[in-house]
């Protein structure tokens, strides 16, 4: 692919955080009288929190956006130690770092949640930067997060490989001009991988 850097999605790509995100959303909404327990667990997979709020706000009368967002973030961060790295995530990032490949995290989560996830994995010092929803005007599927990621790497987007697990993220990375390695059965234009161990080989390719 000719890529010289890697932009990593976090949730569902590096860390098995989606179950915790789902539990936090259910708990916070239940506290405000909205029961989401019958919703599909992937209803908001890869969707940034502004869009989640927009979808749910009509059913949360009297709840302030800022208070709801803070409750989501605080509840997640308080339990972030529960999340586990996905197979080979830490070893691959460490190996690429040792090989001199610059890496950045690009997430649709807020800054506090991103920091909590990277701390749980112990990889923050191996990354050039971490781009969160707080760092952009528009989250994925807009290309802005990945464009900011490329800027942090000091590389043109065409020389960055994005690693994703959601159609929303893959759309954002492709729109930014990046090649995409997709963990699972990928959408058109992405290279499907079954393991993160495939990422170094894609860089060499």
Write out pLDDT tens, residues 150-203. 999 999 999 999 999 999 999 999 999 999 999 999 788 999 999 999 999 999
Mean pLDDT value across residues 37-41 = 93
Residues in CB range of 26: below 8 A, 6 or more apart: 36, 37
pTM: 0.87
Nearest to 11 by CA among 165, 179, 121, 157: 165
Residue 59 CA, distance from chain mean position: 26
Mean pLDDT value across residues 109-131 = 95
Question: How much is the pLDDT for 30?
Answer: 97
pLDDT in tens, 52-99: 999 999 999 999 999 999 999 999 999 998 899 999 999 999 999 999
């Amino acid at each position: 692919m000719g890529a010289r850097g890697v932009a990593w999605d976090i949730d569902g790509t590096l860390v098995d955080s989606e179950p915790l995100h789902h539990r936090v959303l259910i708990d916070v909404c239940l506290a405000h009288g909205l029961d989401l327990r019958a919703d599909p667990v992937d209803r908001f997979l890869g969707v940034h929190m502004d869009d989640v709020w927009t979808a749910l706000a009509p059913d949360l009368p009297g709840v302030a956006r800022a208070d709801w967002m803070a409750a989501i973030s605080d509840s997640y961060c308080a339990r972030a130690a529960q999340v586990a790295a996905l197979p080979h995530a830490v070893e691959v990032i460490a190996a690429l770092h040792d090989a001199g490949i610059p890496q950045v995290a690009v997430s649709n989560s807020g800054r506090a949640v991103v920091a909590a996830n990277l701390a749980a994995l112990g990889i923050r010092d191996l990354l050039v930067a971490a781009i969160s929803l707080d760092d952009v005007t528009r989250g994925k599927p807009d290309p802005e997060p990945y464009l900011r990621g490329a800027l942090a790497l000091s590389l043109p987007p065409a020389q960055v490989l994005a690693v994703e697990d959601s159609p929303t993220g893959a759309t954002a990375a492709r729109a930014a001009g990046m090649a995409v390695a997709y963990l699972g059965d990928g959408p058109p234009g992405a290279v499907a991988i079954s393991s993160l161990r495939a990422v170094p080989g894609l860089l060499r390719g």
